[in-house]
Structure 1
């Protein structure tokens, strides 16, 4: 507001949502953003923000080199809780998820739910919750299964629009011929 008083409002203020809502005159059209963190989270070894874990173990193709990514948080917790075994590790490496693995408490399975275990609608609800408080588009991937149909993609886009999302990224597992992100148990 102070900057707008000094230098004037942004060029398209007149007729903008700020103008229509009678909000204070501002210099910048957008002031809040959430940076996309997909690659950054890998480089910095940190959280990827509002994204769920892609899988607990998977192959990543980087510049023609295959890298194995393993969710160290799950394995550390499984050791602390006395759940870890070589068999558990092998099952997680093969499946990439805890779904169907016996002996894992429901709360742990819920905590380490992967992107493919979350319905597309829930991915969109998460994005919309953050979009509501963010001026710029929120970067979030909506993961859909390999067998998804064009209508499933259309429904995701329409729901995102209805919920006020400014953009949407849909990734259908297996659609990337190069296999940028692939479950370890998938054959090449």
Structure 2
């Protein structure tokens, strides 16, 4: 920093003014009197090489340090210590949130509509029953939800992550066929046969559910538009489960959300029943 006088710089030395070797030696000086490991960051300049880092670790080992943390200036977009002079333009790639050099505009997904309509399919996977909900609005497919029955853990969280990303791409105008090409065929250690089809993984199950939805006509734009404008239009039948078999005629008294699959519960003969997954509770 040129604006600071040299005599002040000699007294108040900053982390970037100290060469990595002396960062390590200072840590070693404290380590001699401390049983636990000493925490300290060795600051490297932006042009540091792998050999420079290796030499710091070798020196720390020889000096008796119990641990070592290194940081190369400019290796992250944002950092705590910065002189403002680090040239990060070569190290930081252009992100999708910033305009590209060729002048292309960034893609901004449209907002989720307040009302959608769709169907829920139950797909058996090696991790359990997966309930895939596919919704449409006036512009077509707009979102996908995937819930792994009562289970949690990695399978449920990964399925949720996949469905969120699919929803984002749908509202961004990405071709659904391009999305299906990426997730269909992904294999896990527990493939399973479901209604004559091999389900290779949870992402593969989501892809197959979306394909069935599209092939059966799903919820057409006209149906979605009519529904969102107040008309009562039921989704078309798809080839996995017949919604007409799930929902009978007549007015139903709703009883909240199903704790297993998240669909609507109905009161049936003093019990609550989910017609999608079969959950029931009486009394």
Q: Same fold (TM over 0.5)?
A: no
Which of the pair has more CA radius of gyration? Answer: 2
TM-score bucket of the superposed structures, by smaller chain: 0.3 to 0.5
Q: Which has the higher contact order (CA 8 A, sep 6+)?
A: 1
Instruction: Report the TM-score, using the length of structure 2 for normalisation.
Output: 0.29
